[in-house]
A and B are shown apart, each in its own frame.
Chain A
């Protein structure tokens, strides 16, 4: 099993550009989530999904969209990137919210 994979590993965007961060898991987990990690602030939940077709907002959802059309994939979309979205983004999955497995992260810089 590859576990949780994230692409790309690094990305630089200009303000106003859009992009999608990809996340995939091959463990047949129902629960998937996206976090952002900023210095001194720990990890903050952006969006999560408890199964295909079901998504919900986390602590900091503004500026981000998600969808869950399959069990395996949970992409995170930035429609109009802002410098405040410069961060490291982690995707995680688990049988439930408990026992989440994290991916390796995507480092995003918005200029």
Chain B
């Protein structure tokens, strides 16, 4: 099956700085890559996603880039704010599209 690796496991940044989280995947047939944000005591929430036919997608302060050749994708958060503090998960779909494989998560702390 798919293997998704995520780095770093923890990340601390000063408010206003940028944060970057990186993921790699193993199955070249994967074609959908979502990012989820999980706040303490809550379920994951989809924040942005990218499909394999696109190299970059941006939504306000959040962007995701995809390099299919290298099989890696990254989440970029600019102008970080304390409310961005959470655990972020990347995921990739199986070749059938019915199964998500998640990374192990990155705990982001934004220091005011």
Contact = CB atoms under 8 A, between A and B. Distances in A.
Nearest to B94: A97
Interface of B: 1, 4, 6, 9, 32, 34, 36, 41-46, 49, 89, 93, 97-105
Given A102-B43, A105-B43, A97 B100 contact: yes
A102 B89 CA distance: 13
Given A48-B98, A59-B1, A98-B32, A90 B103 contact: no
B89 A43 contact: yes
10 contacts: A4-B43, A31-B98, A40-B9, A42-B102, A42-B105, A59-B1, A98-B34, A98-B93, A99-B49, A102-B44
Interface string A9-34: 00000000000000000000001010
Interface size class of A (residues with CB under 8 A): 20 to 34
Q: Which 4 residue pairs of A and B lie closest in terms of their CB atoms, listed nearest first? A: A102-B43, A42-B102, A43-B102, A42-B104
A48 B93 CA distance: 13
A24 to B, nearest CB: 14
Nearest to B103: A42
Interface string A68-111: 00000000000000000000001010001111111111000000
Which secondary structure dominates chain A's binding surface? strand
Nearest to B104: A42
A45 B93 contact: no
Contacts of A35: 102
A45 B44 contact: no
A98 B49 contact: yes
Contacts of A105: 41-43
Contacts of B103: 42
Nearest to A107: B41
A76 to B, nearest CB: 15
A4 B45 CA distance: 12
A108 B42 CA distance: 15
B63 to A, nearest CB: 19
Given A42-B89, A43-B44, A97 B98 contact: yes
Nearest to A91: B43
